[in-house]
């Protein structure tokens, strides 16, 4: 007979929410007292430490989660250090009878989870692991030959063939606490917020992390943006996308909740499908990560190992990072990223293409910058999408399809509104000038101290050089 007084420990990681959290739900339903734990393991031993913007997000997310647990009569226990060691010691200190958690997907995390599970079971603790941050278990969606899909469309068809994903699980009204003594770190002592300097003002103006804010955003998206999503999602000034990416990344809302909420919306089925397809890309990227655990560093197509990347000029790299390349759409995107920790998807593609193809810098350099600056920096999506733009990934855009950032701007930001928002030096110009300020007589790129730089590369010549480098790699 299990000892019902022995608590259930819920180890939260990428599922920082109380609703649709099967691990929390199981612990509550077990009738045991519950200990809810988050361990910040930023040693790098189990995987890549979070970047600066993600650390900022995590601080506020943990704060919101603790408040939500307190409302339910419990609290969040915080630990800092090796996840496996901290969980082992919490199981020991509390005499726990059950450990529940949700699956993680990088190689280091999977290996650590296996170790924790074995150690817990050896101590007689029952372990229960749930699928909560993805709609499928990577590696489980296979073609007729029992193999993974190499391209997205049939993968998504197979993913959705079985019908709708399971319904979300309700949040518990109360989470009975374990009343023993258990040490918890102070959130402020985890050092997640930037100091000296504190560069997070733009993040704070833009975002409210946490589960409650995630649901407000889902509501706002469904009511105000979804109907125009299919037509306008590529237009950065239209603000038609959901901006749910950081909430999904940290698990403040689950893909199950988003899926069902969107399916219930009163908008045509083809528009809903367009959005759900994007959620499908997230699933696909995790499948890629599962098949290629070194996705962030190793080309899926190994022929790219021989690509003749240009030597990095620090000044040029910094101009890209800070939005001073002289190419307006690229600069607008990089400034949006620096200020808000997020960038519109179309502009992510353009800025990445500019780095990889016009500057001919190794895609991993850009991937690392995004990792550090995005609030939604994600081990699967970021690496997979950088490889997609580079042409080295699965189902990737071919390398020779080089985005022209001026034409992209004219097409997707025809009035230059997005550019005017992020590059105020160009605000007073008409649309044509905003896209090509160097053509404006006595414009912002002229004079002894120009307000805005000339392009740091010649777009046409650098495109030709990239294609030439690609041919060299192929031969």
Ligand X SMILES: Cc1cc2nc3c(=O)[nH]c(=O)nc-3n(C[C@H](O)[C@H](O)[C@H](O)COP(=O)(O)OP(=O)(O)OC[C@H]3O[C@@H](n4cnc5c(N)ncnc54)[C@H](O)[C@@H]3O)c2cc1C
User: Which helix (H) or strand (E) is 213 found in, with range?
Assistant: helix 211-220
- In degrees and rounded to multiples of 5, residue 283 shows phi and psi of -65, -45
Residues that contact ligand X, how many (by CB under 6 A) = 27
Question: What DSSP string describes 167-232?
Answer: PPPPPPS--PBP-S------GGGG--S--SS---HHHHHH---SHHHHHHHHHHIIIIIHHHHHHH
The residue from 42, 82, 93, 278 that contacts ligand X (CB under 6 A) is 278
- Cα 355 to Cα 268: distance, rounded to the nearest angstrom: 38
The residue from 98, 349, 420, 456 that contacts ligand X (CB under 6 A) is 349
The residue from 37, 377, 390, 429 that contacts ligand X (CB under 6 A) is 377
Could you say whether residue 374 binds ligand X (CB under 6 A)?
A: yes
Could you say whether residue 286 binds ligand X (CB under 6 A)?
A: no
Q: Is 275 annotated as a binding residue?
A: yes
Q: 363 catalytic, yes or no?
A: yes
The SS3 assignment for 409 reads: helix
Single out the segment in contact with ligand X by CB under 6 A; choices: 32-40, 129-137, 384-392, 402-410.
Answer: 384-392
- Cα 97 to Cα 41: distance, rounded to the nearest angstrom: 24
Cβ atoms 374, 54 nearer than 8 A = yes
Record the tokens describing residue 328, joined without a space: 């307006």
Least spacing, CB of residue 374 vs ligand X, in Å: 5
Cβ atoms 405, 350 nearer than 8 A = yes
Single out the segment in contact with ligand X by CB under 6 A; choices: 6-14, 58-66, 210-218, 273-281.
Answer: 273-281
Could you say whether residue 242 binds ligand X (CB under 6 A)?
A: yes
The residue from 56, 338, 370, 470 that contacts ligand X (CB under 6 A) is 370
Could you say whether residue 233 binds ligand X (CB under 6 A)?
A: yes
Cβ atoms 256, 165 nearer than 8 A = yes
Record the tokens describing residue 230, joined without a space: 């299919």
Q: Which residues contact 164 (CB under 8 A, 6 or more apart)?
A: 259, 260, 263
Q: 338 catalytic, yes or no?
A: no
> Given the complex with ligand X, which of 36 and 262 has the nearer CB atom?
262
The residue from 244, 327, 330, 426 that contacts ligand X (CB under 6 A) is 244
Could you say whether residue 19 binds ligand X (CB under 6 A)?
A: no
Could you say whether residue 378 binds ligand X (CB under 6 A)?
A: yes
Could you say whether residue 276 binds ligand X (CB under 6 A)?
A: no
The residue from 11, 57, 281, 369 that contacts ligand X (CB under 6 A) is 281
> Given the complex with ligand X, which of 7 and 51 has the nearer CB atom?
51
Q: 369 catalytic, yes or no?
A: no
The SS3 assignment for 241 reads: coil
Could you say whether residue 241 binds ligand X (CB under 6 A)?
A: yes
Could you say whether residue 279 binds ligand X (CB under 6 A)?
A: yes
Least spacing, CB of residue 273 vs ligand X, in Å: 13
Residues in region 249-268 near ligand X by CB under 6 A: 249
Catalytic residue of the set 386, 388, 404, 436: 386
Could you say whether residue 243 binds ligand X (CB under 6 A)?
A: yes
Q: Is 244 annotated as a binding residue?
A: yes
- Cα 77 to Cα 68: distance, rounded to the nearest angstrom: 13
Catalytic residue of the set 11, 56, 57, 363: 363
Q: What angle do CA 46, 49, 52 make, to 5 degrees?
A: 165
Could you say whether residue 462 binds ligand X (CB under 6 A)?
A: no
Record the tokens describing residue 79, joined without a space: 């630990």
- Cα 436 to Cα 62: distance, rounded to the nearest angstrom: 44
- In degrees and rounded to multiples of 5, residue 464 shows phi and psi of -60, -40
Catalytic residue of the set 63, 93, 185, 278: 278
Q: What angle do CA 192, 197, 199 make, to 5 degrees?
A: 70
- Cα 114 to Cα 135: distance, rounded to the nearest angstrom: 21
The residue from 76, 226, 389, 394 that contacts ligand X (CB under 6 A) is 389
CA torsion sign, 387 to 382 to 152 to 155? positive
Closest CA relative to residue 117, chosen from 11, 237, 226, 43: 11
Could you say whether residue 332 binds ligand X (CB under 6 A)?
A: no
Q: 342 catalytic, yes or no?
A: no
Could you say whether residue 330 binds ligand X (CB under 6 A)?
A: no
Q: 109 catalytic, yes or no?
A: no
Ramachandran region of residue 80, left (φ > 0), alpha (ψ -120 to 50) or beta? beta
Q: Is 377 annotated as a binding residue?
A: yes
The residue from 41, 86, 287, 376 that contacts ligand X (CB under 6 A) is 376
Q: 56 catalytic, yes or no?
A: no
Closest CA relative to residue 288, chosen from 175, 411, 138, 179: 138
Catalytic residue of the set 57, 178, 259, 281: 281
Could you say whether residue 289 binds ligand X (CB under 6 A)?
A: no
User: Which single residue is written with the structure tokens 């002894």?
Assistant: 448
Strands 34-40 and 76-80: parallel
Least spacing, CB of residue 427 vs ligand X, in Å: 25
User: Which single residue is written with the structure tokens 């083809």?
Assistant: 270
Could you say whether residue 434 binds ligand X (CB under 6 A)?
A: no
Q: Is 188 annotated as a binding residue?
A: no
Q: Is 229 annotated as a binding residue?
A: yes
Binding-site members for FAD are 229, 241-245, 275, 376-378
- The catalytic residues are 278, 281, 309, 345, 363, 386
Binding-site members are 229, 241-245, 275, 376-378
Enumerate binding residues for ligand X (CB under 6 A). 233, 241-245, 248-249, 278-279, 281-282, 285, 345, 348-349, 352, 370, 374, 376-378, 381-382, 385-386, 389
């Amino acid at each position: 007979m299990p000892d019902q007084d022995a608590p259930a420990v819920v180890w939260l990681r990428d599922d920082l929410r109380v609703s649709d959290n099967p691990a929390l739900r199981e612990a509550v339903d077990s009738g045991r007292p519950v200990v809810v734990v988050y361990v910040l393991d930023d040693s790098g031993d189990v995987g890549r430490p979070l970047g600066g913007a993600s650390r900022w997000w995590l601080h506020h997310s943990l704060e919101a989660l603790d408040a939500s647990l307190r409302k339910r009569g419990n609290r969040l226990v915080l630990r800092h250090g090796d996840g496996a060691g901290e969980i082992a010691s919490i199981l020991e200190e509390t005499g726990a009878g059950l450990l529940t958690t949700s699956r993680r997907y990088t190689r280091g995390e999977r290996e650590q989870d296996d170790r924790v599970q074995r150690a817990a079971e050896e101590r007689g603790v029952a372990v229960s692991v749930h699928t909560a941050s993805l709609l499928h278990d990577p590696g489980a969606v296979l073609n007729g030959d029992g193999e993974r899909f190499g391209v997205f469309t049939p993968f998504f068809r197979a993913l959705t063939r079985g019908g709708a994903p399971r319904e979300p699980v309700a949040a518990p009204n109360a989470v009975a606490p374990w009343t023993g003594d258990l040490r918890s770190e102070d959130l402020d002592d985890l050092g997640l917020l930037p100091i000296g300097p504190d560069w997070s003002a733009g993040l704070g103006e833009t975002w409210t992390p946490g589960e409650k804010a995630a649901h407000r955003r889902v509501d706002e998206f469904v009511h105000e943006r979804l109907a125009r999503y299919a037509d306008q999602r590529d237009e950065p000034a239209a603000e038609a996308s959901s901006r749910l990416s950081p909430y999904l990344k940290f698990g403040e809302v689950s893909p199950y909740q988003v899926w069902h909420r969107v399916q219930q919306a009163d908008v045509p089925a083809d528009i809903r499908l367009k959005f759900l397809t994007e959620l499908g890309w997230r699933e696909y990227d995790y499948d890629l990560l599962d098949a290629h655990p070194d996705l962030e560093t190793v080309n899926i197509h190994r022929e790219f190992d021989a690509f003749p990347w240009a030597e990095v000029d620090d000044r040029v790299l910094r101009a890209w990072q800070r939005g001073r390349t002289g190419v307006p759409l690229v600069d607008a995107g990089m400034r949006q990223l620096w200020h808000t920790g997020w960038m519109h998807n179309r502009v992510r593609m353009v800025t990445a293409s500019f780095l990889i193809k016009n500057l001919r810098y190794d895609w991993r350099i850009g991937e690392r910058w995004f990792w550090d600056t995005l609030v939604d920096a994600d081990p699967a999506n970021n690496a997979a999408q950088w490889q997609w733009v580079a042409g080295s990934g699965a189902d990737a855009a071919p390398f020779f399809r080089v985005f022209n950032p001026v034409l992209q701007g004219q097409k997707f930001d025809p009035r230059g509104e997005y550019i005017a928002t992020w590059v105020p030096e160009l605000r007073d110009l008409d649309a044509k000038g905003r896209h090509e300020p160097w053509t404006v007589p006595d414009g912002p790129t002229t004079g002894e101290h120009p307000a805005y730089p000339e392009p740091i590369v010649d777009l046409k010549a650098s495109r030709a050089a990239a294609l030439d480098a690609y041919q060299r790699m192929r031969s």
